[in-house]
Amino acid sequence: MEQDIEIFINNHKYNVKSDQTIMQAADSIGIYIPRLCYHNQTSSHSACRICIVQIEGMKQYVTSCTYKVQEGLKIHTNTKEIREMRKILLDLILSKGHDNCNICDKNGNCDLQELSKYIGLKDSHFFVKNKEHIDSTNAITKDFSKCILCERCSNMCNNIQNVYAISYAGRGFNTKIVPGFSESLKQSSCVSCGQCINVCPTAALTEKNNIQEVLEKLENKNLIKVVQIAPAVRAAIAEMFGFNPGEKIIEKELVTILKQIGFDYVFDTQFSADLTIMEEGSEFLDRLKKNEKLPLITSCSSGWINYIEKFYPNLLNNLSTSKSPMSMLGTLIKTYFAEKNNFSLDNIFSVAIMPCTAKKDEIKRKELLVNGKQMVDFVLTTRELGWLIKSMGIDITKAKVQEFDSPLGESSGAATIFGVSGGVMEAALRTAYELYTQKELDVLDFMEVRGYQGIKEATINMKDKEIKVAVAHGLKNANILMDRIQKNPSLYHFVEIMACPGGCIAGGGQPFVKNKEITTDIIKLRASLLYSLDSNNKNRKSHENEAIKFLYKDFLEKPLSHMSHKLLHTFYTKKEKEC
């Protein structure tokens, strides 16, 4: 049972909670103990040993990230001996890595770099460099020369995401963190969620960088350059330029910025989020009427799709057949938009700015080809967009507000909250409720599906129906929810899954938080920006988006029409060890 106990740290007496580690206790009273492998989202294995402290009466140092406090402990965190030992430990860690800091993707945002400054290590004495070796998928790059074996990535992959794609292999200087049987990432169970990148303290793990390919295409005067922006990007891009999480939203300024970079048309993925609701909501009502393939499970999250194909293929029929908003808009750009403007499909260069590394995977899917053509040419993450803006020398604070281009730029508030866990469900319920009951909702905020619990459940009364819904974020929670559904398929009618903890706002391609971990508080701050955009939008329902209504009248006819099925829907198949 948790209670207050008395301990001594650096000869001062403190009252702390009995269930804390020494590190947690020290943090709670404002005493910082250096750490590297520790991360608040993953379990501690004391791999780096940088957080060692001395306890009076004990001969050996203990790791503060794992050692629990006890009544009367006398702890020393910063003696001369400890400082010297930390320098030796850090020197050994540095010996395994690459020293190209000036051109490294994490220069200025590297935990190892910051720790070296803090500890005061100026010279390296060991030269046992890892062999340079790169392993890469469509979405993620692993640079073994920068891996310091801290275990953060494997802890995230195995304990938080339940994917088990990477773990320790080998001994001594041959130790590596790799997929099972030393296979490549492509051959592993990796789902490209990118959460390993978010916790990596160095640049051993990064997104597959596509900036140079995009820049080369932007130089081609014969191409029509088109870009789309996901909801969660606007909630975090300012962090790339020194703003704190939740401090500033950059939305329509991005239209100006992207045109300065060289794009001809800037569309909003939120437009196709509204379109997704029309298709997915109609699909749900159709299944509800027929009482088949329930629960309907959302299909927007690319990492989640990779996961269900590998781990729960028996539930693939429950997935919505609706493409993700990115893929829907990518398809419309190279069909509807091209046709209306007499553009050749081959002359359109289409880029998507996403908070997600798994979207780089998604665009390569054969199931999403239209007439044998790839609909989105490249995906850049929010981080890549930030680096691109900086490389162009653009001052974001001077960018003017400019409307998204028509006809694929108008959106409702419901589309904005797609970037938050529970947002797709809430947007769908706003539309499904009104289409089913033919009545307007008195309150549009479905607070039952908001929040940051791993799994949320609710019952929504829709006229003569009680609709049972569930929302999960993070693949460990998805695992729990899918096991429930396998045992009792009639438990829910509608389920939303997001691969990343917190949803897209904490996606694998979002900005690194300098000297901080992506905590629930940071997720809440980013989410608050999207919720504010929703509440301030004159239209908060997808089915009342006039641009969507016009698209159906002019091109698609109606939700679930033959044309809609041809362009906006897809299928999924069981995947063996490849993503």
3-class secondary structure, 121: coil
| Helix 269-290 / helix 423-437 crossing angle, nearest 10 deg | 50
Name which of 138, 365, 353, 87 is nearest 232 in CA terms: 353
Report whether 368 contacts 327 (CB < 8 A): yes
Alpha-helix residue ranges (DSSP H) falling in 200-324: 211-218, 231-234, 253-261, 269-290, 302-311
Closest CA to 556 of 279, 268, 271, 228: 279
Question: In sequence order, what E strands does 161-231 have?
Answer: 167-169, 176-178, 205-207, 224-229
For 306, counting Cβ atoms within 10 Å of its Cβ (0-12 exposed, 13-18 middle, 19+ buried), the class is buried
Structure-block tokens of residue 101: 């800091």
The answer to whether the beta carbons of residues 521 and 322 sit under 8 Å apart is no
Separation of alpha carbons 372 and 351, rounded Å: 18
Question: In angstroms, rounded to a whole number, what is the distance separating the alpha carbons of residues 316 and 140?
Answer: 25
CA 40 to the chain's CA centroid: 17
Tokens representing residue 114 in the block = 């910051």
- Find out whether 335 and 210 touch, Cβ atoms under 8 Å: no
Which pair of tokens denotes residue 463?
Answer: 């006229």
- Give the Cα separation of 329 and 348 in Å (integer): 13
Helix pair angle (211-218, 382-391), 10° resolution: 50
If we measure between CA atoms, which residue out of 378, 56, 409 comes closest to residue 215?
378
Q: Are 350 and 222 in contact (CB under 8 A)?
A: no
> Residue 40 corresponds to which tokens in the numbers above?
């608040």
Residue 457: Cβ within 10 Å count? 17
DSSP E strands in 78-216: the ranges are: 134-136, 140-143, 167-169, 176-178, 205-207
Tokens of 413: 């508030």
List, by residue number, the catalytic residues. 280, 283, 300, 320, 359, 362, 367, 504
The answer to whether the CB of 408 falls within 8 A of the CB of 272 is yes
